[in-house]
Chains A and B, each alone.
Chain A
Amino acid sequence: MTIAIGIFMILGVFFAAIGTIGILRMPDVFGRLQASTCIATLSTFCSSLAGILYVIANRENFASVSTIVKLVLFILLVIVTNPISNHALCKAAYRTGVKPGKGLIIDDYKADFGEAKDIEGKADLPDADFDLPYDPDGMANANEPIPEPAEVTPAGAPVIEYASSVTGKTNNNGEASK
């Protein structure tokens, strides 16, 4: 049992060291995210498995069942939540303008949603208006119904649902007061 714990412990520390070196040495954000995945899945899994084996090995000392349940919960939690947070972080890195060092060969996100600077202008709109499709070619989002054309103010900023919803609220209040 000691040998098994040692093997899993060494594997866990090894993958953690690999991920840390990757985070310190990779050239851009996306490479660092890919290296951090190594820590989140393999290292945590191996170390917690070593912990489970340790609890099983001397189970007369602890309340062993609850400890094993908590360790399994920890593994499941990390495995479930880490892809979500990494996806959000990768999207944030793309939208804030970080580009990979060697450039992108295929840029599907740009083909679907446009450049990052076109989205930054709508930064303080609510989510429903933030996700309005931007397609310069008219080819993206071909399966969805065509959105109504937005009115253009003299300043050039497109007036979207946000302003009209605010005025609608005031109108509703006015009618209610009448």
Chain B
Amino acid sequence: MDMQTLIMIGAICYVVLGVLLLYRIAVGPTAADRLCAADTLDLITATALVLYSLYCGRAIYLDIALIVAILGFISTVFVSRYLEGRV
């Protein structure tokens, strides 16, 4: 098994785990549960994008992964401030 196949298998595993996390986003009892699962899904998406960019050999997906991670952080902080009551 060469290295490229390993990277691709890892990316597919990350995608499957992200699909599993959608269950918690749909079911989670409180808003904080959903926000926690969404933040984690964001990180998993970014990591899968990193691995896919290495598989393709295109650097543009790496930039997209960085932007996704930054946007996930910002959205988590702002939504939790909204949940606290101060926007």
Seen from chain A, the residues whose Cβ lies within 8 Å of a Cβ on chain B are 1-2, 5-6, 9, 12-13, 16-17, 19-20, 23-24, 29, 32-33, 36, 39-40, 43-44, 47-48, 50-51, 54-55, 57-58, 61-63, 66-67, 70-71, 73-74, 77-78, 81-82, 84-86, 88-89, 91-93, 95-96, 98, 119-120, 122-127, 130
Contact = CB atoms under 8 A, between A and B. Distances in A.
B86 A127 contact: yes
B58 to A, nearest CB: 9
- Name A's interface SS: helix
A2 B57 contact: no
A2 B1 contact: yes
Nearest to A34: B36
A39 B40 contact: yes
Contact of A92 (B9, B21, B72, B83): B83
B31 A96 contact: yes
A54 B54 contact: yes
Nearest to A2: B3
A55 B81 CA distance: 39
Interface in B39-75: 39-40, 43-44, 46-47, 50-51, 54, 57, 59, 62-63, 65-66, 69-70, 72-73
